[in-house]
């Protein structure tokens, strides 16, 4: 395919409520921006913002040499792919599997195609890292005819997992990255991923990013009987999706906020905030135990994401009941958010590694175009 042209690689990371964009020259970050609650990506506002992002990085009229897009759902795809008209058609078929993310991500692809014709665009799939999980970790207990329709556990936050593994290998050596690892990506969206020999072994998110742990505004896993009850009480499918994705989780339980910083500040006086935090920490702790059992032990626990990287109090509450795994925190290191926060005699290494999905997107694009 030839080598990537010299110039700037854009990494576009579109979430359900914001867009993050970064420009790189090789692995050097030139600029990073975040657009909160953007207008529809096909509108002039976002295109103007993209152009402003490039302004000052190079002479006027610059086009990037490559654009990498985070795509939440790639179904069974296990590698990045060049964006073509055929792939765009395929990704439109994936919208029902991630309706909170896919439309915005596809609109950004179309906007970039219009703005930068001829520039190679690379799709990097959040699900790809988990595509080779053991079959027992991907199956849903439904009649097999539904699996033929694509109903299975996919897993998400895969781009973050890839970056964290590369950082773990850089910081602690290749042997650490080949051990039994749990990656705790804890933010407004939260998941745990069990890794063995650098491969995804199991993960808490499943068919959609709404599954697994309780999150900022998402329920996580929910008894199907609750859904049946709510539908019988008159909720429509759209109302149910809005309830479990935007009105629940920490926000729903606390009735105050989805922001852990805010909840920690008011929890001493507000029992609802305290209960929301207790539920979050309990679920994370319980699922770490479950994934450690799946791995037959644990060598390294990595905290990442906005909560995982920045909240010593939450990390302590999660870890302080995991001594049975041989895990011991160093309170002083944890309070400082040191790179290693485990005690010297801890059998499990506990690390804080800031994740960087945009850097991983740019790496994927360069590696793909150098094939």
**Residues 199 and 299 both lie in one domain:** yes
Q: Within this chain, do residues 220 and 84 fall inside the same structural domain, yes or no? A: no
pLDDT for position 1: 30
Count: domains in the chain: 2
- Domain extent, residue 275, equals 166-352
Spatial distance between the Cα atoms of 277 and 145, rounded to a whole number of angstroms: 39
Can you tell me the mean pLDDT for 160-168? Answer: 98
Please report whether residue 96 resides in a domain: yes
* Top-confidence residue, 240 or 25: 240
Does 116 lie in the same domain as 13?
yes
If asked whether residues 230 and 314 sit together in one domain, one would say yes
DSSP tag of 129: G
Residues 173 and 62 in one domain: no
Q: Burial level of 29, CB count in 10 A (0-12/13-18/19+)?
A: middle
Does residue 210 lie in a domain region? Answer: yes
In a domain, 132, yes or no: no
| 3-state class percentages of the chain: helix first, strand second, coil last, to nearest 5 | 45, 20, 40
Q: How many CB atoms lie within 10 A of CB 327?
A: 22
Given a contact cutoff of 8 angstroms between Cβ atoms, the answer to whether 188 and 179 are in contact is no
Residues 211 and 71 grouped into a single domain = no
pTM over cut 0.85 = yes
β-bridge partners, 304: 185
pLDDT, average across residues 3-12: 71
What is the tens place of the pLDDT at every residue in 294-335?
999 999 999 999 999 999 999 999 999 999 999 999 999 999
269/183 Cα distance (integer angstroms): 32
Token look-up 């529809």 returns 40
Residue 147 lies in a domain: no
Same domain, 319 and 204: yes
Of 60, 92, 125, at which residue does a domain stop?
A: 125
Lateral strand order in the sheet of 66-71: 28-36, 18-25, 9-14, 66-71, 121-125, 81-82
Alpha-carbon Rg for the chain, nearest whole angstrom, is 21
Q: Which of 100, 169, 160 is nearest to 130 (CA)?
A: 160
- Per the residue annotation, which of 27, 126, 223, 345 is the catalytic one? 126
Which residues 6+ apart lie within 8 Å of 261 measured at CB? 311
Question: How do residues 45-93 score in pLDDT, each as one tens digit?
Answer: 566 666 666 555 544 456 789 999 999 999 989 999 999 999 999 999 9
pLDDT tens per residue across span 166-222: 999 999 999 999 999 999 999 999 999 999 999 999 999 999 999 999 999 999 999
Q: Are residues 90 and 238 in the same domain?
A: no
Q: pLDDT of 205-215, one tens digit each?
A: 999 999 999 99
Tell whether the model's pLDDT for residue 371 goes beyond 70.
Answer: yes
CATH of the domain at 52: 3.30.420.40
Whether residue 345 lies in the annotated active site = no
In a domain, 48, yes or no: yes
Both 319 and 181 in a single domain? yes
Tokens describing residue 71: 């795509």
């Amino acid at each position: 395919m030839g080598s990537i042209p010299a110039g700037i690689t854009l990494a576009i990371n579109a979430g359900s409520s914001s867009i993050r964009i970064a420009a790189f020259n090789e692995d050097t970050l030139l600029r990073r921006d975040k657009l909160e609650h953007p207008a529809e990506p096909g509108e002039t506002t976002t295109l103007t913002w993209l152009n402003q992002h490039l302004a000052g990085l190079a002479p006027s009229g610059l086009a990037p040499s490559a654009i990498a897009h985070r795509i939440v759902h790639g179904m069974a795809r296990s590698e990045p792919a060049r964006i073509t008209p055929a792939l765009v058609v395929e990704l439109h078929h994936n919208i029902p599997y991630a309706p909170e993310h896919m439309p915005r991500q596809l609109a950004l692809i179309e906007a970039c195609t219009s703005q930068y014709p001829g520039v190679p665009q690379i799709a990097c799939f959040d699900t790809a890292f988990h595509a080779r999980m053991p079959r027992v970790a991907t199956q849903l207990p439904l009649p097999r005819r539904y699996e033929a329709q694509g109903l299975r556990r996919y897993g998400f936050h895969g781009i973050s997992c890839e970056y964290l593994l590369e950082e773990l290998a850089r910081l602690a050596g290749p042997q650490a990255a080949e051990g039994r690892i749990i990656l705790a990506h804890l933010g407004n969206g939260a998941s745990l991923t069990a890794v063995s020999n650098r491969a995804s072994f199991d993960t808490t998110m499943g068919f959609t990013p709404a599954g697994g742990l309780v999150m900022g505004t998402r329920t996580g896993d929910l008894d199907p009987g609750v859904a049946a009850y709510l539908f019988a009480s008159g909720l429509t499918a759209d109302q149910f999706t809005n309830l479990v994705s935007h009105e629940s989780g920490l926000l729903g339980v606390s009735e105050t906020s989805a922001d852990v910083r805010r909840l920690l500040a008011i929890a001493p006086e507000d029992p609802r905030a305290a209960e929301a935090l207790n539920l979050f920490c309990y679920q994370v702790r319980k699922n770490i135990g479950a994934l450690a059992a799946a791995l037959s032990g644990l060598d390294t626990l990595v905290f990442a994401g906005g909560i995982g990287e920045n909240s010593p109090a939450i990390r302590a509450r999660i870890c302080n009941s995991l001594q049975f795994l041989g895990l011991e925190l160093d309170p002083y290191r944890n309070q400082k958010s040191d790179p290693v926060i485990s005690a010297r005699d801890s059998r499990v290494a506990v690390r804080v590694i800031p994740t960087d999905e945009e850097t991983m997107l740019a790496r994927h694009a360069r590696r793909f175009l150098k094939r």
